[in-house]
Amino acid sequence: MTMNETTSSLLEPDRDWWRGAVIYQIYPRSFQDTNGDGIGDLQGITARLPHISGLGADAIWISPFFTSPMRDFGYDVSNYVDVDPIFGTLEDFDALIAEAHRLGLRVMIDLVLSHTSDQHPWFVESRSSRSNAKADWYVWADSKPDGTPPNNWLSIFGGSAWQWDPTRLQYYLHNFLTSQPDLNLHNPQVQEALLAVERFWLERGVDGFRLDTINFYFHDRELRDNPALVPERRNASTAPAVNPYNYQEHIYDKNRPENLEFLKRFRAVMDEFPAIAAVGEVGDSQRGLEIAGEYTSGGDKVHMCYAFEFLAPDRLTPQRVAEVLRDFHRAAPEGWACWAFSNHDVVRHVSRWADGVADRDGHAKLLASLLMSLRGTVCIYQGEELALAEAELAYEDLQDPYGIQFWPDFKGRDGCRTPMVWESLPDGGFSSARPWLPIAESHIPRAVAVQEGDPASVLHHYRRFLSFRKAHPALAKGEIEFVETRGSLLGFLRSHGNEKVFCLFNMSDEAATKELPMKRLEPLEGHGFVSEILDHEVKLPAWGAFFARLA
Amino acid letter for position 192: E
Separation CA 495–CA 479 (nearest Å): 5
Q: How far is CA 388 from CA 2, 416, 444, 461, in A?
A: 40, 9, 10, 14
Closest by Cα among 66, 221, 210 to 141 = 221
The answer to whether the beta carbons of residues 372 and 503 sit under 8 Å apart is no
Q: How far apart are CA 551 and CA 548, in angstroms?
A: 9
Q: How far from chain centre, in Å, is Cα 441?
A: 26
The candidate with the shortest Cα–Cα distance to 247, out of 259, 266, 258, 232, is 232
Question: Which SS3 state, helix, strand or coil, does residue 147 take?
Answer: coil
Strand pairing partners for 503?
A: 492, 547
In 3D, which of 111, 328, 345, 321 has the Cα closest to residue 238? 345
User: Shortest CA distance to 31 belongs to which of 116, 95, 96?
Assistant: 96
Closest CA to 527 of 461, 457, 482: 461
Nearest Cα to 65, choosing from 81, 51, 53?
A: 81
- d(CA 139, CA 170) in angstroms, rounded, equals 10
Catalytic residues: 212, 272
Residues 507-517: b if buried by 16+ CB within 10 A, e if exposed:
bbeeebebebe
Question: What is the number of H-type helices and E-type strands within the chain?
Answer: 14, 21
Q: 223-226, long-range: CB within 8 Å, 24+ apart, which pairs?
A: 223/141, 223/150, 223/151, 223/252, 224/151, 224/252, 225/151, 225/152, 225/153, 225/252, 226/151, 226/152, 226/153, 226/154, 226/250, 226/251, 226/252, 226/253
